Structure 1
């Protein structure tokens, strides 16, 4: 199988370790009413002796760029921080980690300005079938499971000695090289791999009392039930957290929020920004009605 190499922007580091990086092409239909609109995102599955991490390559690069920009501004003028939303931050914003050897699984995702760490309380229960086929250069075998509100078909290969896979999937006698749900709305296919030296990220330290939307802050550890409650609250009032954060920050430092309208016009007036973001959020709820794990958003 042809290996795919990508140049990635890494943050400031204090140590380096070796990891196996697997590249998955993720195809998904975010709007169930428009099945012709199939989106694609390159996802990374990094595996080392301690566990694995699954996340979007585009978001990783965008976050690294934003972090470098923020650190530069903090050095030059920490009292006047200008944060602009990136045009292409990646379509997939969540990250999934698994801790070996017990495969304790966490979903990291955001609701508005809050970052959440949600521990998974269910394990994929697999039915291994005799069907076999070749995926890329790997001999693979079929398995099925019901997970997160979907029926999934996976193909795993014992040629790759990892009982892991993309998203929250694991527990088969080899790496999952392809997995797709019954409706064809979500599929992840292994398209490349390599061994890399990965840097350990250093947390950016913000001035006292400053919170940046989408950056920094500790993850809020909650269970699925608590996350569902937080999600429903966000759907009812998408800009509540941001309004509260803006009021808090304006008491201490000047923070400018910017966004763009549908016609490309840049706006920075807080009230206009909030109106535009609420409009975009509500449009997003309608278009993104087909999540990979529908049970989590009920």
Structure 2
């Protein structure tokens, strides 16, 4: 029986018991050469007694919907499975978790077909200033820090008794209700919150023996920031290397069939692997050029 390999990425959020969910409006400028284009994403910061998780709402909803659709197809037992990219998969693909009480921080992200868990080795060093203002309904105080290659301004509120905040930021005597870098490229503002119940565990989807979905199942490779920088640099230099290596490995396995398909911008379908890889490399490099203003520049130097 031939093994079908489907390319699909899923982001799982696993928290437990009662959770305090904070909603942040994230405004960001992906292209430093086009500051008029400001994008928005709704980000969630889930906090419970074990720690916190910061991630895109749209990304989570899209992944959850796709997972449910996949499980429904498997349950029918038809033997035919189709995995399609969602129309609104989210613009922010990473997730950040912090483990309490020591605030051990990890960044979860993907590079090509590989998943990584990157341990943060530095904590924000804050300078708390006397400036105060009201952010939404909360009384907040100003603090500044230099982190990840940017200068950051935070407004925290002791009205909310969590020493946490969006992305990798924490350590102030209250929740960070607004965070922005000094160029105005990245701005995160708290716009709401509620208490929810999230299952302690998310059940792993059981795939048939002849089906593999890349990005689903398996653990992320835990690496250091220095190791990640090397991975990122290699990807930028050769975006399709992983895919080509996978195709070469499968070439000698008679039980594995890999199918590469994609459409060009004018709607032409490509199925020849060489053409697909060429188009993928072109698109990736174009995307990287237009996303040259990351939230943490030091991580992709």
Cα distance, 1:80 vs. partner? 5.0
Q: Deviations over 1:128-174 (max 9, x none)?
A: 00000000000000000000000000000000000000000000000
Q: RMSD value over aligned CA atoms?
A: 2.5
Matches within 5 A, 1:79-158: 80-158=80-158
Decide whether aligned partners of structure 1 residues 193 and 75 sit closer, same or farther in structure 2, where only a CA change above 3 A counts. Answer: same
Give yes or no for contact 2:62–2:86 (8 Å, CA) kept in 1.
yes
Distance of aligned partners of 1:249 and 1:61 in 2 relative to their CA distance in 1, 3 Å threshold: farther
What number of residue pairs does the alignment pair up? 288
> Residue in 2 aligned with 1:232?
233
Whether the aligned pair in 2 keeps the contact of 1:81 and 1:254 (CA below 8 Å) is: no
Q: Distance in 1 between matches of 2:80 and 2:296?
A: 40
Cα distance, 1:23–1:208 mapped onto 2, change above 3 Å: same
**Structure 2 matches for 1:194-205, cutoff 5 A?**
194-199=194-199, 200-205=201-206
- Secondary structure of 1:67's partner? helix
Q: 1:19 is matched with which residue? A: 19
List 4+ stretches of structure 1 deviating above 6 A. 11-16
Measured at CA, do residues 113 and 78 of structure 1 come closer, stay the same or move farther in structure 2, by a change above 3 Å?
farther
Alpha-carbon shift at residue 201 of structure 1 (Å): 1.4
**Among residues 260, 275, 295, which one is paired with 1:292 in the alignment?**
295
- 1:241 CA drift (Å): 1.4
TM-score, length basis structure 2: 0.88
1:216 maps to 217
- Listed as ranges, the gaps of 5+ residues in structure 2 are 1-10
- TM-score, normalised with respect to structure 1: 0.88
Cα shift at 1:264: 4.3
Alpha carbons of 1:111 and 1:77: their partners in 2 closer, same or farther (altered >3 Å)?
Answer: farther
Alignment check: 8 A CA contact 2:12 2:60 kept? no
Q: Which runs of 5+ in 1 are unaligned?
A: 1-10
Map Cα deviations across residues 64-115 of structure 1 (whole Å, 9 max, x no partner).
Answer: 1221232234344686543333332111000000000000000000001110
Q: Which residue of 2 aligns with 1:261?
A: 264
Q: 1:56 to 1:15 in 2, by over 3 A?
A: closer
Change (3 A) 1:139 1:131: same
Question: Deviation digits for residues 110-132 of structure 1, max 9, x if unmatched?
Answer: 00111000000000000000000
Q: Deviations over 1:33-83 (max 9, x none)?
A: 000000000000000000000000010011112212322343446865433
